[in-house]
Chains A and B, each alone.
Chain A
Amino acid sequence: MPSIDRRRGWGVMAALAVAVALIPFAVLLVETPWKHLGDLGAAAGPVAVTAAAGGVALAVVVGLGLPAAWYLARHASTPFRRVSEAAMVALLLMPPLVLGLVLAYLLGPDTPVGAWLLRLGVTPTNSFFALVVAQVYEAFPYFVLTAWAAFTTVPRVYEEAAANLRPHPLAVFREVTLPLAAPGLVAALAMAWARLVGAFGAVIVVAYHPVGLPVAIWIGLEETGLASALPLAVALLALGFPVPLALMVWRQSRDPLAG
């Protein structure tokens, strides 16, 4: 058993780690010109752009990722599961800037995909569409991997019992799988939203316009310096934080599989 002194040593280490984590918030608290936050009119446009594109992107991520995560957790063959996991992790590890370059190659007006999109009347780059695509790519692996893990934590026996007692796959999913996986899915959702809203690397390459919040911060920083970028940063935090934080709190308050 560690002695009291040694335990105190570990406690100091933990406190230090927490302090390091809190430094950015302290800086924001001190440096933000709170008095002038009222005239954030300039931020309204980027906030609207990011929120709208983020909403669409989140819908795409969930619509595409949730069934995939469920299938991978429950029914996929081992080789398929391995390949999928590798693909998702590779996408997760890819630097966002590189991802942006790849997307530019994929969506550029001269490429087959770009040309086809143009024919459909969709502007493939520097458009709302491009912004959504970039956000989706940045958030997608985070969502799928976390949701996948969430489905995996649901003991199979609950689903099997439900399927045996009422053989209706959708009813079983709604009644048993979804509520039991909910805490993990909420974490996935929160993470996806935070990634979407803050997406910058891929976005700046393929979707400089319309100007979303992260790009607006970059422009402010380049043109007028830190002072004008900080209020925008606060706006970004305000947009990106509450949803994940609220979801996390909800999740901790009611996890049916905990305890």
Chain B
Amino acid sequence: MIRWQVDLTWPVRLAFDLVLPDPPPAIVGLIGPNGAGKTTLLRHWAGIGGAVRGRAAWHQAPRPADWRLVWVPQAPSLWPHRRLDAQLAWVLGRPWHQDPEVAQWVERLGLGPHLHRFPPELSGGLGQRATLVRALAAHPTVLALDEVLSQVDAGERERIWEGLEDWAQARPGRLVVITSHRFEEVRRYCDYVVVLAEGTAWAGTPDALRLKPHVWAVGQEVGYAGFLPDSVAEGAAPSETPALIGSAGSTQWGMALDESVLHWQPPGPARAVMARVRALRPPWAVELELPTTLGRRRMWLPWPPWPPPPPGATVTVWANGPRVASGRPAVPEIPKDPNP
């Protein structure tokens, strides 16, 4: 059982109490906007964080006697004045090839021919791989990676993630925590995601969070591009007709942008309707309150793949028949793309 109990007031305001699912996931994604506290937390847990006000506890049961979180920062941290093999030996306390796990990683990442070199001679991706192996040489319980594979090419990265999954599962209590700005990567390799936003944390499987991001800040992190303006919601009337929602997977909802008109056509039986547009803000994702056979449900529909309509375009949300909302969206204030 792993439980994060955080109540910080400085340098970030952050409070949550989170129990990770049991059995613990192999790779946990920690995402959130800049300044949300990801790095502060990881550094604090690694024991190098500097002063914080409040507390941030990592409970783990059973807790390995040699519990240790090794944090790999985003900035290059290989010591420029030591050869790679010397760095590994310093961390291990003996030559790298005497440690089977490290030797295996050296081979897996193809570092063997480069171990006699100094870090300034390495390319960015090679340096990042070497940093990863050096971190693993410290035999951590928890390996926290802060955006560390950004310069490794895609195929290689895939292999590394798979290797890290194996690493985490090789011994009980091990865990990999990654921070990333690429939600697609998080979604692919993490069994569990914690989003830090607005001073607290939301957690769940990547797909669950994508389907129901709870708040706008989380929606932004998991790939929502925006909302239509609130004003559009005025005049929207709840339908009295019970609806069949069908699959909740957002991609299955028929949405299309056609000459600046937003058409919304749920799949399945024709009588499915949308009742109320709760929030519509530019650029383009909608929070809907839907009447279902089980009662009212709030749902979010992501709207990622299309470019936003031009400013001043009329947006209409259609619910298979009656028009429930239309309006002129405000000039789209395009939020920073979370997946550059």
**A interface list, Cβ under 8 A from B:** 155, 157-158, 160-167, 175-176, 179-180, 256-257, 259
Contacts and interface: CB of A to CB of B under 8 A. Distances in A.
Contacts of B70: 164-165
Contacts of B237: none
Given A163-B48, A164-B46, A165-B135, A180 B73 contact: no
B81 A179 contact: yes
Contacts of B138: 164-166
A172 to B, nearest CB: 10
A160 B48 contact: yes
A161 to B, nearest CB: 4
B71 interface: yes
A164 B47 CA distance: 7
Contact of B73 (A161, A166, A167): A161
Residue from the set B90, B120, B135, B137 with the largest chain A CB neighbour count within 10 Å:
B90
29 contacts: A155-B75, A157-B75, A157-B76, A158-B79, A158-B80, A160-B48, A160-B73, A161-B73, A161-B77, A161-B79, A163-B47, A164-B70, A164-B71, A164-B138, A165-B70, A165-B134, A165-B135, A165-B137, A165-B138, A166-B90, A167-B47, A175-B82, A175-B90, A176-B79, A179-B81, A180-B80, A180-B81, A256-B80, A259-B120
Given A161-B73, A161-B79, A163-B48, 10 more contacts: A157-B76, A157-B77, A158-B79, A160-B48, A160-B73, A164-B47, A165-B134, A167-B47, A176-B79, A180-B80
A256 B46 CA distance: 27
Contacts of A256: 80-81
A163 B90 CA distance: 12
Nearest to B70: A164
Interface string B35-48: 00000000100111
A160 B70 CA distance: 11
Contact of B91 (A158, A166, A257): A166
Contacts, number: 48
Given A180-B79, A256-B81, A165 B91 contact: yes
Interface centre among B70, B75, B81 (most CB of A within 10 A): B81
Contacts of A180: 79-81
Contacts of B77: 157-158, 160-161
Interface string B59-99: 00000000000111101110111100000001100000000
A257 B79 CA distance: 10
Contacts of B47: 163-164, 167
Given A164-B46, A167-B47, A175-B90, A257 B134 contact: no
A105 B287 CA distance: 81
B79 A162 contact: yes
Contacts of A161: 72-73, 77, 79
B85 to A, nearest CB: 14
Nearest to A166: B91
Contacts of A259: 120
Nearest to A171: B90
A25 B70 CA distance: 56
Contacts of A164: 46-48, 70-71, 138
A169 to B, nearest CB: 12
Contacts of A175: 79, 82, 90
Q: Which 10 pairs between the two chains have the least Cβ-Cβ distance?
A: A256-B81, A161-B77, A165-B138, A160-B48, A165-B91, A256-B80, A157-B77, A157-B75, A179-B81, A164-B46
A214 B2 CA distance: 70
Nearest to B69: A164
A166 B75 CA distance: 19
A121 to B, nearest CB: 46
Contacts of B48: 160, 163-164
Nearest to A256: B81
A163 B91 CA distance: 10
Nearest to B80: A256
A136 B307 CA distance: 71
Interface string B233-251: 0000000000000000000
Contacts of A167: 47
A167 B71 CA distance: 13
Of the listed residues A157, A161, A162, A180, the one surrounded by the most CB atoms of chain B closer than 10 A to its CB is: A161
B7 to A, nearest CB: 24
Nearest to A180: B81
Nearest to B74: A157
